[in-house]
Amino acid sequence: MLILFLFGIILGQAASLKVSMKTHWSGGVTGSFCIPITQDLHGWKAHLIFDHVINKLDVSTCIAEKKQGGKEFVLTNKPFNKEEHVGDKLCVDFVGHTDSDINPTATVSIEGMDGSGSSFSHTTALYFTMEFFSPGGDRGLYDYSKPLANSILFYNAQRSGKLPANNPIKWRGDSALKDGSDVGVDLTGGWYDAGDHVKFGLPMAATAHLLLWSYIQWPDAYSSTSLTDKFFDMIKWPLDYFLKCWIPSKNEFYMQVGNGDDDHHFWGRAEDMKMARPSLKNTASKPGSDVAGETAAAMAAGSIAFKKRDHAYSTKLLTAAKSLYVFAKTYTGKYSQSVQGAGQFYSSSGYTDELCEAAIWLYRATKDQKYLNDAKGFVETAWAWALSWDDKKVACQLMLYQETQDDMAGKAVIGFMKSWLPGGGITYTPCGLAWRDQWGSTRYAANTAFLALMAADAGLEATKYRKWAQSQINYILGQNKQCFSYVIGFGKKFPRNPHHRSASCPMIPAPCSEANLHSSGPSPHILVGALVGGPDAKGAYTDKREDYVHNEVACDYNSGFHSALAGLIHLTHTKSLPRADTPKCPCSVH
């Protein structure tokens, strides 16, 4: 039985929608509503009425006017969402500030929805996006489809460039529209890396690669949750950017836009950036086999994903992947050593793992034996420290095992997993999170959970790995002593102060500066779907925007987590998800 905190009421004429607001804490409440539009509106007002006083209402998509001493707020459209048409949904997220821990109820209505000035007269629902569990058993503890859908929203919030008409993140606008102008190349688009606004090629390509791998392995995870179109819309954003970055006629590959130091001295919206954004490139004399190889892998995987959906685009990706792989393989070197200013934030430890990934994906896309032979030459036998944006040797080993059943590769994957499972030497928090490093502890656990699910599909220790992966993802989603979710917008308690510039800024034209970094209040915008860095080795975590070690978000942080969710949804969909082991610190809310 799925519990969504979804409250739907069939309403009669002039009735308001009543909602029991159960998401609350000391000092605030939070919620969101989505009202189906049943007639065209050319400007609108919604009345949100509480039975307790709300001191202040934070809402980014409309103007909130306090009435009746805080028991009513009149919500008025902004220019961008003035026009609402039949079939649309008017969705509003809000955070209310209170003097204490209260549990209010509320009603909402839209003026004139039925043409008579009354509220709407149809079946609708007001819902909170915060809590989505199922009980245990073969369906798993959580409904994993919701955080998967929300992860797509997070990636959409990271978009750079000219945003499309269907942009779902209303507090984001066009930005960095002159990227590449310093070199006469259009380098607009792509994803901002984290809470900052640099476009780092290596982690962006690593992110796209894992996301595409999850779709290719588990397409039913997306189709069964109606997320296929949203996935392709999301993943095309970095792929289009990668195509712009590679200029084969000149052997030039642009692998970074923006200067990390200059960017990190600016706290504000992406839309307000005024600093120079230099474009950095690899060439034959300044090679970057790592970033070029990883990007080739992502484009080759993209060509497979798009083959049935858009054959011409698939061919374009494959052609680019082939030539970029030749460039990466011919002119070898680490990008962070070749180009001054490129490795300060994402320094590369090597490039054979990225070349291996590129070779395997090109083999999968073409079935040309030469690529598989290359991969066999690039694969390493050592156990990996982790699966990360930098170290992909275990991913290479697993993919080679998938293709050839190579015994050495299989043993390397099993050895890696042995080092991560209990008793293998890795640190565990008191409540059971496999803790590799203070920088993105949830990221490393989720990446390994994804790899475990992929290894299980390959026939390696299937039940053991699936149970373990499920335990790690469940911990991240809130199955811990504090019942705390490290995914923004999921669960009753989740981070409200991520280290993310744009989310910390109020809507334009209100000013934003470093004062917003140090503000003690929740971020004005809920960065739905983002996975924060996570707890320390003792399981402690503080929701503090200034703490970029534990409260940073990043594209690569979400990649393994997102992909592991897809694997768990596939197992649920195919009724093959094993019952999870009893957690060390079960959340009492269940």
Kindly list the catalytic residues.
499, 543, 552
Q: If residue 579 lies in a helix (H) or strand (E), which one and from where to where?
A: none
Residue 586 contacts residue 431 (beta carbons within 8 Å): no
Give the residue from 482, 495, 478, 485 showing the smallest Cα distance to 545: 495
User: How many Å apart are CA 242 and CA 245, to the nearest integer?
Assistant: 5
For residue 536, the tally of other CB atoms under 10 A from its CB is 15
Tokens 């004139």 — which residue? Answer: 112
User: How many Å apart are CA 419 and CA 421, to the nearest integer?
Assistant: 6
Count Cβ atoms within 10 A of the Cβ of residue 294 and give its class: 0-12 exposed, 13-18 middle, 19 or more buried: buried
Torsion sign across C-alpha atoms 189, 194, 197, 198: negative
The residues that bridge with 108 in the sheet, in sequence order, are 17, 48
Residue 408 contacts residue 380 (beta carbons within 8 Å): no
Burial 128-139 (b: 16+ CB within 10 A, else e): bbbbbbeeeeeb
253: DSSP letter: E
Residue 187 contacts residue 176 (beta carbons within 8 Å): no
Q: Put the strands of the sheet holding 72-77 in their side by side order.
A: 17-20, 105-110, 45-50, 72-77, 62-67
Residue 412 contacts residue 394 (beta carbons within 8 Å): yes
User: How many Å apart are CA 111 and CA 46, to the nearest integer?
Assistant: 6
Q: What angle do CA 584, 587, 590 make, to 5 degrees?
A: 130
The residues that bridge with 386 in the sheet, in sequence order, are none
